[in-house]
Amino acid sequence: MSIFDRTISKATSHGKTDLQRVDYLDGWRGLAILFVLIDHFFIFGDSTDFGRFGVDIFFVLSGFLMSKILFVKRTPLGTFYRRRISRVFPVFIIYVLLMCALSYLLKLTEEHENVLYTLTFMRAYFPIGQEMVNTGLPIEHIWSLNVEEHCYVILSIVTLVAVLRGREYLALFAIGGSSIIAFYYLSTQTDLPSASFERQSHVLLGHLMISAGYFLVRDKFAPYVMSWMPVAAFFAAMFCYTEMAHWTMSWAFTPFFLAFAVNHLDKVPDFVKSILCFAPIRLFGIWSYSIYLWQSPFYNYLARHDVPFELANVVGFIGASVVGVFSFYVIENPIRTYLNNNWGVKKEEAEVTKKWPEVERRKKNNPRKNKYRRVGDSIKVIDGKKTVLNNAVF
């Protein structure tokens, strides 16, 4: 086993999870964070918006995964939220509190007074009239986390609407489409400055929701998808973030291009999968959340405006990567692993037992017919039939 394989194996171990890890999806995350870093530290001017491209790559992957967890696996909402909290909150809270503490102690800005709005993912909306951009504190990039968290709530509500059972994609497409229309309306039919709404969730749900909806119907189109199509869709989306494309294309067309691409990654040629599975790209994907959080101070103070010294952008890129990796191994992954292994575990096991009482009944009544053995953290029942429930196989 190579050093990269050992590093990946260690980095992808974070306790109980909702889904099995797929190598090329780590690579997709890696592309996302690399586009953000390249845009922030090596592309100057407005010729491209690859930073936003990278974030939207994250969004469609999140929609793909959350749809599978909530609408296919039917993960209980308690488990769903515990997993999301253990994934997002610990390093996020530490980052926000540290930035606000530095702001207060060094008198950098008054943005620290809005710490509660930031911690509750509502900073893009409150205080009313105070925009999230150019606050003097590197928290502007948290808008994307706001969108993610708000989408989690919306998706979980959709799971509770009984009339939508089996037709959730209709609601998801409607929500995503409405978000695109709302952005167009606010951009063209009102006098509102774009900074007042362009980082608010209600106009940014499109990528995640459309990807989540398409996941539920993708099998109907899969037989007609050729290997080159997801790759072409990815590059078509990439073009939309350049100055050659009309300004509406990056938010009107790319949700569909990128949703199609990520949902059919299993169809791409082997050489494309080999690129996505390339160990360094996978590692950037595994580390991506921590890197995304901690790159912002380096970007704001070393590369965003006037470069303070020669090669400051290179120093910023390296610094963001190193601090992000440090955060992953010291904060993010240890806390996530602990919470996943200890928070609500007994309750989850009780829910499984309650949902499948016939398993216990068969165990007592047919001891010879059914053999039980431990598989990781679940129990496998062998009686000629297999049914999947979360990480357990019955």
Q: Residue 58's pLDDT is what?
A: 98
Residues in the chain: 394
Same domain, 385 and 303: no
In this structure, are 287 and 154 located in the same domain?
A: yes
Among 301, 327, 343, give the residue marking a domain's end: 343
| Inter-CA distances, 309 with 107, 301, 303, Å | 24, 11, 10
Which helix (H) or strand (E) segment holds residue 327: the answer is helix 312-327
Same domain, 281 and 367: no
pLDDT score, position 20: 79
Do 42 and 60 fall within a single domain?
yes
Domain housing 64: 3-14+21-343
- The half-sphere exposure of 316 on its side-chain side, counting CA atoms within 13 A, is 26
What's the confidence (pLDDT) of residue 357?
56
Same domain, residue pair 212 and 359: no
- Can you list the alpha helix ranges (DSSP code H) found in 161-308? 168-188, 206-215, 218-221, 228-240, 249-252, 254-263, 270-276, 279-286, 288-302
* Number of structural domains in the chain: 2
Are 370 and 251 part of one and the same domain? Answer: no
Given 305, 320, 343, the domain boundary residue is 343
- pTM score, two decimals? 0.88
The string of DSSP letters for 335-360 reads HHHHHHHHSSHHHHHHHHHHH-HHHH
What 3 state SS string does 125-156 have?
CCCCCCCCCCCCCCCHHHHHHHHHHHHHHHHH
Residues 261, 120 share a domain: yes
Angle at 143 between CA 138 and CA 145, to 5 degrees: 105
Q: What is the pLDDT of residue 82?
A: 96
Q: What is the pLDDT of residues 374-386, one digit of tens each?
A: 344 444 444 444 4
| C-beta separation of 92 from 294 below 8 A | no
Average of per-residue pLDDT across 357-361: 51
| pLDDT at 239 exceeding the cut of 90 | yes
Q: What is the DSSP string of 22-83?
A: -HHHHHHHHHHHHHHHHHHHH--SSSB-HHHHHHHHHHHHHHHHHHIIIIIS---HHHHHHH
Same-domain pairing of 120 and 67? yes
Q: Are residues 80 and 59 in the same domain?
A: yes
Same domain, 66 and 215: yes
Six-digit token string for 313: 């952008």
Q: What is the mean pLDDT of the chain?
A: 89
- Does the pLDDT of residue 360 top 70, yes or no? no
Same domain (yes/no): 62, 168: yes
**Whether 244 and 365 share a structural domain:** no
| 97-153 pLDDT per residue, tens | 999 999 999 999 999 999 999 999 999 999 998 889 889 999 999 999 999 999 999
How far apart are the C-alpha atoms of 37 and 292, rounded to whole Å?
8
